[in-house]
Amino acid sequence: MSDISRRSLIAHGVAAALAVALLPACVSAQQVQSVAGAVAGSGASAGSATAATNFPTRPIRILVPFTAGSGSDVYARFFGKKLSEILGQPVVVENKPGAGGALSVQAMLADPPDGYTMILGSNSPMAVNVVTEKKLAYDPVKDVRPVSGMTRSMAVVMVPPNSPIKSLADLVARGKQSPPLNSGTYSPGYQLALAQFTAPAGVKLQNVMYKGLSQTLTDVMGGQVDMAVADGTGSASMAAQGKVRAVAVSGASRHPELPDVPTFKESGYPEAVHYSWTAFWVPAKTPDGVVKVLAEAMQKALSQPDSKEFVVKTGGELMPFGPEQMRTFQLAEIERFRKAAQAIDFKAED
């Protein structure tokens, strides 16, 4: 073995050098490099494993792409506290709304992929934006990886409390007339969710986009719009109190707070099953060991009885998917929204 080969192996570290020193003198330079590379690689793996074993050693930050008080924010803070208790480190929640969640995703991707910055990514930034944005600044499949599914909640379709529309059948009848109904919402995802009902029903709507849930609910209560569709987390209780009139829900079964309100599915629109969902995500290059620590901590948090009680109380359901199941679900959701967009000839924004 040449002196040059031996000297080059020293660069791989002491372990590699010792391994080379023990080789017979007759081995080739190529074989020397192979042994050293294997030793160096095993050292790197051990280092990664050590990093994962020690993770976390400092505070974790959770970015939320919506405003304080939103359903995503509420869940981020609840489960952030759970993670802090389980992992023994502070968890800080930071609201970073804007651009349909893209600002939060980009902020996370700007940080090192070490597990210390996560995002609570809902169906908007992680599935809907693929369909509704022509020039998305990130790829929600290639640039991020799931840690854990968390919650899901059905949508509620509602009209003002004094509206002549008193049922889904009334909505369909009125929706086939002119002028089209003004339909308020605050996310393209809800517009696409409605498409799975409006397309087969032959209903035409004029979408009115709001910045958030509160203004949407305020205007439907006051009759400024003919109808609205919103997440059940914030709207089901208002419908139960009579502040708005719910005519349908998008779940596979009826909403527990609205037992007299039918689902689209039972009303003859089986494809119109829709849930908004939340999950934790990290940059795609985050080490497997770190993701494993976070995923296991989340599964432990989701399995605690008070977690289910809290989510149900806020109008949602647990969605305790592991990383692989969450990825499969995400891909299916992207395809679902793509089909919905095609059904109503939705035009993606530049």
Question: DSSP for 77-88?
Answer: HHHHHHHHHHHT
Distances (CA, A) of 40 to 9, 17, 32, 225, 346: 10, 10, 12, 65, 53
Nearest to 145 by CA among 124, 123, 119: 119
* Residue 79 CB partners (closer than 8 Å, separation 6+): 150, 280, 298, 301, 307
Q: Which two tokens stand for residue 16?
A: 């590699």
Strand-pair partners of 208: 184
Report the alpha-carbon distance of residue 171 to residue 194 in Å, rounded: 13
Whether 28 has a pLDDT exceeding 60, the answer reads: no
Identify the DSSP state of 348. P
pLDDT at position 71, please? Answer: 79
Per-residue pLDDT at 274 exceeds 80? yes
| 183 and 229 Cβ atoms separated by less than 8 Å | yes
State the angle between helix axes of 29-54 and 14-21 in degrees (0 to 180), rounded to the nearest 10. Answer: 140
For the chain, the distance separating the N- and C-terminal CA atoms, rounded to the nearest angstrom, is 61
pLDDT of 44 above 50? no
Tokens of 207: 């979408």
Q: Is 285 helix (H, G, I), strand (E, B) or coil?
A: coil
Share of the chain above pLDDT 70, in %: 85
For 153-205, write each residue's pLDDT tens digit.
999 999 999 999 999 999 999 999 999 999 999 888 999 999 999 999 999 99
Bin 203: left if φ > 0, else alpha if -120 < ψ < 50, else beta.
Answer: beta
Separation in Å, CA 49 to CA 52, 77, 116, 136, 281 = 5, 29, 16, 34, 21
Tokens in use for 63? 């970015």
Query: Does pLDDT of 23 surpass 50?
Result: no
DSSP lists the bridge partners of residue 246 as: 158
- Give the single-character DSSP code of 347: P
136, 130 in Cβ contact below 8 A?
Answer: yes
- Averaged over 51-61, what is the pLDDT? 87
Report the pLDDT value the prediction gives residue 15, as an integer from 0 to 100: 39
> Poorest-confidence range of 8-12, 34-38, 245-249, 270-274?
8-12
- Lowest mean pLDDT of 102-106, 126-130, 150-154, 312-316, name the range: 312-316
Q: How confident is the model at residue 52 (pLDDT cuts 50, 70, 90)?
A: low
Structure tokens at 223: 């009759």
Mean pLDDT score of the chain, rounded to an integer?
A: 86
Interacting residues of 55 by C-beta distance below 8 A, sequence separation 6+: 115, 289, 290, 293
- pTM of the predicted model as reported, rounded to 2 decimal places: 0.81
The percentage of the chain sitting over the pLDDT mark of 90, rounded to a whole number, equals: 71
Mean pLDDT of 337-342: 93
Give pLDDT, residue 108: 97
pLDDT, tens only, 245-257: 999 999 999 999 9
User: How does pLDDT run across 81-126, given as a tens digit for each residue?
Assistant: 999 999 999 999 999 988 888 899 999 999 999 999 999 999 999 9
The residues with which 93 forms a beta bridge, in sequence order, are 62
Count other C-beta atoms under 10 Å from residue 326's C-beta. 24
- pLDDT higher than 50, residue 24: no
pLDDT for 41 beyond 90: no
- For tokens 């009885």, the residue is 305
Chain-centroid distance, C-alpha 288: 19
Surface-to-core class of residue 18, CB atoms within 10 Å of its CB (0-12 exposed, 13-18 middle, 19+ buried): exposed
What SS3 class is residue 156?
strand
